[in-house]
Amino acid sequence: MSKSDKVVIPQAVADGAAAIVADKLNFTYNPKSPFSKQALKDVTLTVNRGEFVAIVGHTGSGKTTFVQHLNALIRVQNGGLFVLDYNLSAKKVDLKTLRGRVGMVFQYPEYQLFADTVLDDVCFGLKNFGVTDKEKREQLAQNALELVGMDFDKVKNKSPFDLSGGEKRRVALAGVLAMEPQILVMDEPTAGLDPRGKREILSLVSSINRHKGVTVVMVSHDMNEVYENADRIIVFREGEVAYDTTPRQLFKKEDEIISMNLEIPHMAKFCNELERQGYVIPDDCKTVEQVFDAVLALKGGVGNA
């Protein structure tokens, strides 16, 4: 579909059920040059509003290229892409409002902190997106910092550079959340953090997803965290969508996953083995605690029989 063709709005977009609809999205870096490289091939997928979707794949599989399309950092070359009610294949897109509604958290976002104080840093985005009233800005910044679990009065006048790694990342996240986006796109939000930092960020993102209804798209290399947190996993392989399914279903295909150089989450591997031997494990059983309870239930069942 070229840009001039008549646009058919997908039903799911018109209904307001879908947050993101990609239809045969293609992208080539350095097209028509000897260095041209096709990064996305006919990517077709839908993310529903309120969903927590993880995007995984080997380095170079096109994950980052795809998510950079979602707030038009990369413009659509070929194919259809709707995000909320924006048609990103159109020639003109209202980028300013789009980027306020689709919050993007890059890899190592703490490297992008720059202001003298935490408060200024969080307010920077708001200022750019047209929140002209200073008091309103500070109120939104306070809400966002409290949402990420920071003590507002304690940190607001601190330099962001005096914070620990995990705190810096939360401040960077607050800068995006302050704009109250409807979609939160994150590229490896837990990379480089220690286990506690990882847990904090993930539980924060899960709670924003569940309680505020924010749609989450998270790129990650950590299969264990993806397994436990995402409603659905989309696997990219050489620029194509290779799988699009629930965590439990996906990791039952152990050989295929390994052949794509991805890891099997521990709890998936464990449950797969039990299922191979004929035991039934409930589908929502993903964390260590859930699996432990399921095994106890099986033990009880065996004992009663």
Partner 1 sequence: MDIITLENVSYYYKTYDDEGAAAQASGVEGINLTIREGAFVALVGHNGSGKSTLAKLLNGLLVPNSGTVTVCGLDTADKKNIFEIRKNVGMVFQNPDNQMVASIVEEDVAFGPENLGVPQPEIVERVYSALEQVGMTEYAKRSPHKLSGGQKQRIAIAGALAIRPKVIVFDESTAMLDPQGRREVLSVARELNKQGMTVILITHFMEEVYGCDEVVVMSGGHIVKIGKPSEIFADERLLEAVGLDAPRSVALAAKLKSVGFDVTENCIDARTLGVEVCRNLTK
If binding means CB under 8 A, how many residues of this protein chain bind partner 1?
39
302 binds partner 1 (CB under 8 A): yes
* Residue 26, helix vs strand vs coil: strand
Nearer to partner 1, 61 or 215 (CB): 61
271 binds partner 1 (CB under 8 A): yes
User: Which span sits near partner 1 by CB under 8 A: 42-50, 122-130, 160-168, 242-250?
Assistant: 160-168
Candidates 1, 115, 191, 204: give the one binding partner 1 (CB under 8 A).
191
62 binds partner 1 (CB under 8 A): no
Candidates 144, 205, 262, 285: give the one binding partner 1 (CB under 8 A).
262
Helices (H), the chain: 11-15, 63-69, 95-101, 118-128, 134-147, 152-155, 165-177, 195-212, 223-229, 247-250, 254-259, 266-276, 288-304
Cβ within 8 Å of residue 154, ≥6 positions away: none
User: Which span sits near partner 1 by CB under 8 A: 76-84, 127-135, 230-238, 286-294?
Assistant: 286-294
34 binds partner 1 (CB under 8 A): no
User: Which span sits near partner 1 by CB under 8 A: 16-24, 146-154, 173-181, 195-203?
Assistant: 195-203
CB of 235 to partner 1, least distance (A): 14
Cβ within 8 Å of residue 153, ≥6 positions away: none
- For 110, the token pair is 């703490």
C-alpha 206/C-alpha 53 separation (Å) is 11
- For 100, the token pair is 């306020």
- For 3, the token pair is 């840009």
195 binds partner 1 (CB under 8 A): yes
C-alpha 231/C-alpha 113 separation (Å) is 31
* Residue 187, helix vs strand vs coil: strand
Nearer to partner 1, 49 or 199 (CB): 199
Point out which residues bind partner 1 (CB under 8 A).
58-59, 164-166, 191-197, 221, 223-224, 261-274, 277, 279, 288, 291-292, 295-296, 298-299, 302
